[in-house]
Amino acid sequence: MSHVAVGEGGSRLQEENKAAFRAVERLVEDMIQESMARGDFRNLSGAGKPLNKFEYNPYADPMTLNLILFDNGYQPPWVVTQRDIRETISEIRNELLEERARLGDPLAPKEQSKWEQLCESAEGDLVKLKKTMDDYNLIVPMLNMQMVHFSLSREIDRAVKGAHQHRLDQQREREKKSERGGRKRKKDPTQ
């Protein structure tokens, strides 16, 4: 009797999986149709040209469509958005760190004003970034890939603490360059 229940449950689960698959298919097809209606597929690079050749049998490999897309430079929107988010985060962090290192410690009133303006500007960038992150979190296919907003105050603290080390690193780099330049001059007898 329990064997029959498992069989029925398995059948019901298979039907639910099929229904979910059909729903996803419809959703994808609707998205494709909407994109076509908006003209998103016009002026694509490679339009009218044959796709790159692939060595896989399309009937044997379920990933063939993905391989064709990948081989021809397609990236899902969430991948592009993820890359943009990471680049923006890096730019904000670098700008805060480099500017704080440039301004020095302790800050004179003039430098303090410049630092506060930069922090306000970073806050505006962060508002835009949070919106982009929210949009990304809605389209990313796996929950564990979602991104968490980061705190501007934490980034400012990181820049303040890292500024001294950044200045030391820059000084070492300048010294290495000047040593290399000095060695080249010494070795060159024409100078």
Query: Looking at the structure, do residues 135 and 60 belong to the same domain, yes or no?
Result: no
Full residue range of the structural domain in which residue 70 is found: 45-74
Query: Looking at the structure, do residues 112 and 133 belong to the same domain, yes or no?
Result: yes
Query: Looking at the structure, do residues 144 and 93 belong to the same domain, yes or no?
Result: yes
How much of the chain exceeds pLDDT 90, in percent? 38
Query: Looking at the structure, do residues 81 and 158 belong to the same domain, yes or no?
Result: yes
Query: Looking at the structure, do residues 120 and 100 belong to the same domain, yes or no?
Result: yes
- Tally of structural domains, the chain: 3
Give the distance, in angstroms, between the CA of residue 20 and the centroid of all CA atoms in the same chain.
29
- Which tens digits make up the pLDDT trace of 38-82? 888 788 777 777 766 655 555 545 566 777 777 778 888 999 999
Query: Looking at the structure, do residues 11 and 92 belong to the same domain, yes or no?
Result: no
pLDDT, mean of residues 103-120: 92
Instruction: Tell me how many helices (H) and strands (E) the chain has.
Output: 5, 0
Query: Looking at the structure, do residues 14 and 85 belong to the same domain, yes or no?
Result: no
Query: Looking at the structure, do residues 88 and 166 belong to the same domain, yes or no?
Result: yes
- For residues 78, 80, 85 and 91, what is the CA-based torsion angle, rounded to 10 degrees? 180
Query: Looking at the structure, do residues 1 and 49 belong to the same domain, yes or no?
Result: no
Is the per-residue pLDDT at 12 higher than 70?
yes
Tokens of 175: 């010294």
Q: Which of 7-21, 132-146, 177-191 holds the top average pLDDT?
A: 132-146
Query: Looking at the structure, do residues 57 and 96 belong to the same domain, yes or no?
Result: no
Query: Looking at the structure, do residues 94 and 167 belong to the same domain, yes or no?
Result: yes
Model pTM score: 0.58
- Which tens digits make up the pLDDT trace of 167-176? 888 889 989 8
Query: Looking at the structure, do residues 96 and 149 belong to the same domain, yes or no?
Result: yes
